Structure 1
Amino acid sequence: MADVGVRPARRADAAAVAGVQVRAWRQGYRDLLPADVLAEVTAPAALEVWRDRWADAATAPPSPRHRLLVAVASDLVVGFAAHGPAEDPDLAPERTAELITLLVDPPHTRAGHGSRLLAATADLLREDGFDTLITWVFEDDEVTRTFLGSAGWAPDGTSRTLDMGEPVRQIRLHTDISG
C-alpha cells in the first residue's frame, strides 16, 4: 500500500495543486458550467494564475485561520482542500468556517483522499474554535453533494446564482463540527 496522508501545503506544491484543480474541474464541471467558461478557467494561462494563487495561499494566507492542505500518496499531491473563516454576511466568522474548495485528481478519486482531507480540515477548524463548516456547491453537482451528504452535510436553505454568461445556481451546505 502506498504511503498516504494529509499535510499543510508548501510553495513547491503549488504547480501540483493547480494541476489537480484544472483536471478535476475539466472532468467534474464539464456538465455544470458553460463550455466557454470552463475552457477559460482551465486554459494554460489560467493554470499559471492558479499556480501563483496557490503558492500565495501556502506561504502567505490571509490569516492564520486560512489553510491549504494537500492529500499525498507516495509523495505525489493527489488532492487539496482550502478553508478559512466564513465570509457570508449572515454567518458568524468567529464560529463558522468555509470549506473553500476540496478537489481530488480524477485518477485518484474513490481512494479515501477526499475523506482524509475533509477530516483533517474539520480537526484543524475545531482546534481553531469553529463549530460549523459551510461550503458552496453547484446545485446540479450530485457527486459532491452525495460525498458531503454521506459525511453529514445538508443544505441550509441558502442559494445564490452566479452569472457565467448563463445563470449557474449554487446551494450552501453546512455541517456541525463541534464534535
Structure 2
Amino acid sequence: MALFRETADVSVRPAVPGDEDAVTRVQVSAWRATHEVALGDGVVDALDTAAMRERWSRAISTPPGPGFAVLVALDGAEVVGFAAVGPGQLVALEVEPRHQRGGHGSRLLSAAVDRLRTDGAEQVVTWVLDDDAARERFLSSSGLGPDGTSRTLATGVRDVVERRWSAAI
C-alpha cells in the first residue's frame, strides 16, 4: 500500500555551511541542461567545480556585505535549487532539471524578493542569456520584464548576450 502526502515536503531556507556541494551540483546540472549550446561546446565541461564550490562556500559562510544571501530550495532533505541575491539583484536562480516545474523556482523567487525587500530594495533586476525562452517565460509570469539593457560576456568559446530584466517590488 502506497502512502501519499496531501502536501509536498518542500521549502526554502537560507543556505548553511555544507550546502555548497549541492549548490554547485545544481548549478552545473542546470547550466548543462539550459545553457550548454548558448555558452559553447565544452564550456560547461571545463568549469572548475572545485573553485565554484569554494566561492559558494564563502558566499554562504561569509557573504561579501549587507544584502548578499544564498537561499536553497528543498524537496524533503534534498537541496534541489538555489537563489543568490545581492543588493537589489537576483544574481542566480537555478533548479535541478529533474525538479523543474515543481514550484521550486517560484518559491525561490518569492523568498529572494522577500529578502531584497527586507534589505530595502524597491526593485529587482536579473540577467537572462539570449535564447533562454523558459527563463523568460518564468520571469514574465512572475511580473519581471526586459528593460532594454544588455551586456556581452566572453565564455572563451564565443561571446554571449544577456538581457537585463527588472520589476518594482
Same fold (TM over 0.5): yes
Instruction: Give the corresponding residue for 1:5.
Output: 11
Q: 2:73 matched to 1:71? A: yes
Query: Aligned residues: percent identity?
Result: 46
Instruction: Give the corresponding residue for 2:146.
Output: 155
For residue 11 of structure 1, give the secondary structure of its aligned residue in structure 2: coil
* Within-5 A mapping of 1:65-144: 65-85=67-87, 97-144=88-135
Q: 2:49 matched to 1:47? A: yes
For residue 160 of structure 1, give the secondary structure of its aligned residue in structure 2: strand
For residue 19 of structure 2, give the secondary structure of its aligned residue in structure 1: helix
Deviation at 1:136, TM superposition (A): 0.8
Ranges in structure 2 where 5+ consecutive residues have no aligned partner: none
For residue 39 of structure 1, give the secondary structure of its aligned residue in structure 2: coil
Give the aligned residue type for 2:30: A
- How many angstroms apart in 1 are the aligned matches of 2:27 and 2:159? 22
Give the aligned residue type for 2:92: T
Deviation at 1:175, TM superposition (A): 1.0
Deviation track 1:53-104 (CA, whole Å, cap 9, x = no partner) reads 111111100113100000011111000000011xxxxxxxxxxx11110000
- How many angstroms apart in 2 are the aligned matches of 1:167 and 1:175? 27
- How many angstroms apart in 2 are the aligned matches of 1:133 and 1:16? 25
Give TM-score scaled by structure 1 length. Answer: 0.87
- How many angstroms apart in 2 are the aligned matches of 1:161 and 1:124? 28
- How many angstroms apart in 1 are the aligned matches of 2:51 and 2:122? 33
- How many angstroms apart in 2 are the aligned matches of 1:127 and 1:60? 19
Deviation at 1:33, TM superposition (A): 1.0
- How many angstroms apart in 2 are the aligned matches of 1:155 and 1:145? 9
For residue 30 of structure 1, give the secondary structure of its aligned residue in structure 2: helix
Give TM-score scaled by structure 2 length. Answer: 0.92
Deviation at 1:123, TM superposition (A): 0.8
* Contact 2:71–2:108 (8 Å) recurs in 1: yes
Instruction: Give the corresponding residue for 2:36.
Output: 30
Deviation at 1:176, TM superposition (A): 1.1
What is the root-mean-square deviation in Å for CA atoms of aligned residues?
1.0
Query: Of 158, 169, 174, which residue of structure 1 is paired with 2:166?
Result: 174
- How many angstroms apart in 2 are the aligned matches of 1:127 and 1:167? 36
For residue 148 of structure 1, give the secondary structure of its aligned residue in structure 2: helix
* Contact 2:36–2:43 (8 Å) recurs in 1: no
- How many angstroms apart in 1 are the aligned matches of 2:17 and 2:36? 29
Deviation at 1:39, TM superposition (A): 2.0
- How many angstroms apart in 1 are the aligned matches of 2:15 and 2:123? 23
For residue 36 of structure 1, give the secondary structure of its aligned residue in structure 2: coil
Deviation track 1:111-149 (CA, whole Å, cap 9, x = no partner) reads 000000000011111111101000111021111111101
* Contact 2:130–2:162 (8 Å) recurs in 1: yes
